[in-house]
Structure 1
């Protein structure tokens, strides 16, 4: 079987790097502009492939998918693109990302035909089911949550389900909440975790019903992993330079999933994820500076002052832990 099938988006990112965010009616001069490949689904798929994993993507593209060079870029990385739904009706989605060093991003999305995207997803649900049977992990990121719900509630496959709702936690919070019962692993940042607690009216994020494992990113303070009665505190690995945080969350998720697939324990997987994310920050664009596994091993050793331990768990053991 292959490793990770990423559900999400394929997007052209327009990244502006600034020293400060603009206030209302204020003009701010951007220091840099970059046109790069992005979209949470594609970011995860590419990151997994760069790390040596066998990845695929299920998403709607646009009539400029080949013209922009995006299809070639994915296939050159080894990403399985059988799940990319092509159309002549509208272009790829665009995002406009205002990025400030050592800060969160401001992101604007543009879909020329959002209803058209949804229609194509539902028309191709059988393809999604067929592909899902070939992968060990299905990772759901920012995308069409109505389709995700339709797919998951009628799907009975043995794959582990990983979910990173991202900014949809604020845009469509109740769509996020109703997906949680299908999820084995939930990834969020601290702002999203706070919002979910408010919506569910719970005191602790541990009270969420559904996911066995919850990973909360804390930016420069690293992350925490909650599993059963344990809490793993993972430091942020220092990058060589701070350029652009776009896509760091996606590469973090990819690193964690690949580490699990290789048989690492949860704490080591968290450290590997932190190491992978550190590379993404070093260049503009979510897919520009993704590391290979060899690069991760080297930086892991430099930062944690020890070599990567030997993986000691089978995939069957990991699946049992996260599903029982």
Structure 2
């Protein structure tokens, strides 16, 4: 059986400006802004929510199935997915379109100026969940607005349980629309900031939102995560990374761990620990899909983190 990954595919072009933006922007001329930044360092990464989640789930042998739209420039990404044995049968090419692309310029203070072109992503509704076979679980991640609505509804009508991960797509929906998603979803995953936005838009507290799904997952960055399920809250500690290099795609890696555990009916502490492990492994490398641990290496990081957690708990109890 497959885990269906509905979301975006994108190229991330990342440029580094070896200075501070503030040194080149005149406050009194902001209304006639015209600046150019010399960026000798540039790299292009494969990204997008669907690509990142599927890549991490494949590392776990989780049988992901990507459903997304791409442009006519997608060939290098296709080659990458094929190289990593990822199923591309439900990636639809949109004629005359570019693949979604983010152009990110970062200065030495880690300030960022980003331009995002959605491209083929806005046509994600041209894909249908009905065309995917042998699906036991799905995730509805940030994508084209119409596509997110359609895929959530199709999953619900087909009886396919799904994780709703609104992420960067939150601004596209009002409170009533978010509640429609949540009423159909089995699981809801957000970060701390997004959880506050959803509470503000829906007028519901975290506890009230949790009552509408089987599990509400809130990630807290370096403070770990919380999973509201079974009428209680499970506090999942952060797994310490070998080094902190780039947070890009950490949330997607975390979600891959969740999906893997949910499919296998693991308890929530175990799901959360694996999710945290995947996030910690990802943050130690640049980009969303450049880490390549083996299953054995993932198990080692998971086991070591669990041992540290157990020791800490025993010391706290003594």
TM-score, length of structure 1 as denominator length = 0.81
8 Å Cα contact 2:46/2:288 also seen in 1: yes
- Secondary structure of the corresponding residue to residue 9 of structure 1: coil
Q: Residue 149 of structure 2 corresponds to which residue in structure 1?
A: 149
Take 1:303 and 1:30, find their aligned partners in 2: how far apart are those partners?
Answer: 39
8 Å Cα contact 2:126/2:147 also seen in 1: no
Take 1:181 and 1:249, find their aligned partners in 2: how far apart are those partners?
Answer: 23
Alignment of 1:76-87 (within 5 A): 76-87=83-94
8 Å Cα contact 2:142/2:148 also seen in 1: no
Take 2:38 and 2:105, find their aligned partners in 1: how far apart are those partners?
Answer: 11
Take 1:20 and 1:187, find their aligned partners in 2: how far apart are those partners?
Answer: 36
Take 1:111 and 1:101, find their aligned partners in 2: how far apart are those partners?
Answer: 27
- Secondary structure of the corresponding residue to residue 167 of structure 2: coil
Q: Deviations over 1:153-176 (max 9, x none)?
A: 355223221111102223434443
Q: Residue 221 of structure 1 corresponds to which residue in structure 2?
A: 223
RMSD of aligned C-alpha atoms? Answer: 3.0
Q: Residue 256 of structure 1 corresponds to which residue in structure 2?
A: 258
Question: Between Structure 1 and Structure 2, whose CA radius of gyration is higher?
Answer: 2
Alignment of 1:1-324 (within 5 A): 1-2=1-2, 4-16=3-15, 22=21, 25=25, 33-66=42-75, 69-97=76-104, 108-112=115-119, 117-118=122-123, 121-125=124-128, 128-131=129-132, 133-155=133-155, 156-174=157-175, 175-202=177-204, 204-208=205-209, 210-305=212-307
**Residues 244 and 52 of structure 1, relative CA distance in 2, 3 Å threshold:** same
The range that moved more, 100-109 or 217-226, is 100-109
Q: Deviations over 1:68-96 (max 9, x none)?
A: x2101112222211110013311211113
- Secondary structure of the corresponding residue to residue 247 of structure 2: coil
Q: Residue 320 of structure 1 corresponds to which residue in structure 2?
A: none
Q: Deviations over 1:9-64 (max 9, x none)?
A: 11001234689985693788879542110000111111111111111111111101
8 Å Cα contact 1:34/1:284 also seen in 2: no
Aligned length: 297
**Residues 154 and 270 of structure 1, relative CA distance in 2, 3 Å threshold:** closer
**Residues 21 and 229 of structure 1, relative CA distance in 2, 3 Å threshold:** farther
- Structure 2 residue runs of 5 or longer lacking an equivalent are 27-34, 311-318
Q: Residue 317 of structure 1 corresponds to which residue in structure 2?
A: none
- Secondary structure of the corresponding residue to residue 191 of structure 1: helix
Residue 195 of structure 1 and its aligned partner are, at CA, apart by 0.8
